[in-house]
Amino acid sequence: MAQINFGGTWEEVVTREEFPMEKARQVLENERVAVIGYGVQGPGQALNMRDNGIDVIVGQRPGSKSWDKAVADGWVPGETLFPIEDAARQGTIIQFLLSDAGQIQLWDTLRPYLTAGKALYFSHGFGITFKEQTGIIPPADIDVILAAPKGSGTTVRRLFLRGEGINASYAVYQDATGRAKERAIALGIAIGSGYLFPTDFKKEVYSDLAGERGTLMGAIAGIFEAQYEVLRANGHSPSEAFNETVEELTQSLMPLVAENGMDWMYANCSTTAQRGALDWRKKFKAATLPVFQELYASVASGQESQRVIDTCSQADYREKLNAELQEMHDSELWQAGKAVRTLRPGRVKEPVV
């Protein structure tokens, strides 16, 4: 492992230099990886492993939309695509990539196929960390491991096809075979990770739930909406409000942050922008810090996980979710964004409705 200095704290990181794809193939040469679930993470991870020469099969319900998607992606029924129980029976490593609510519903079906020496793999620590709520308690004679890409399954696949690797974390919850760690790392490399940070199941899910509800999705969406509304209320056009709220951030400034950090991005903006950002940064931190503290406490108490379980397991959840997403889609903010995207050079224009 490489030793990297993170702001004065040294951490171990696994990179492709010390754990190349050739080594991952050696670790997995006698394994058959059964990917259970072909929704968000399943396609990207399964396709990347297949392209990397790993023996991988997919388990899905025949006749489902996900089954049809798998067929469209080149998985062959009876050869590399099977009903869930058949795939689980064949797999020496079972990648449990259903939604958290879906894992709870399928657990009793999957449990009999977790025989001695197999590995149960997750990309999220939810089911294991909140086992009192989920009922997901693996048998003691299997490995329980995690490789969690820091991005959507779509991003996992896109970066792989560009010859790049996504940042990911890995963890071992249970080592029954003595091979759990090398299995976890090998799978992390095989699914397309460029480098992997060690963690544990609890830390992974706590940081993930806080991040998704915070700066990754929830907080940023709320901040976008608030600033857009203030600009519009003060007479700015939809295009101007969107450009100053979203477009400049995502297309210009965040790529600079990704390249060299926030300070470097500040240094490459006007002095007026620098001064204003530095002056207001601490005010926004002071305003939001109590919200983030409340959020983390809600995650740690199990309140967030219970809400996920209660709402996502409802029969009409998908219908309600689609209605919430449609409301966001139809808002003036994101309709303005749709129009702005058609103006980007080289972009195939979307119909403006």
Residues marked as catalytic: 124
Q: What distance in Å separates the CA atoms of residue 217 and residue 206, rounded to the nearest whole number?
A: 15
Contact status, residue 47 vs residue 81, Cβ threshold 8 Å: no
Q: What distance in Å separates the CA atoms of residue 338 and residue 349, rounded to the nearest whole number?
A: 9
Contact status, residue 126 vs residue 100, Cβ threshold 8 Å: yes
Q: What distance in Å separates the CA atoms of residue 264 and residue 257, rounded to the nearest whole number?
A: 7
Question: For residue 170, what is the enclosing H or E element?
Answer: strand 166-174
Closest CA to 350 of 338, 337, 332, 336: 338
| 3-state class (DSSP) for residue 331 | coil
- Residue 283: CA atoms inside 13 Å, Cβ hemisphere, count? 5
Q: Is 340 exposed, middle or buried (0-12, 13-18, 19+ CB in 10 A)?
A: middle
**Sequence letter at residue 225:** E
Phi, psi (degrees; rounded to nearest 5) at 213? -80, -20
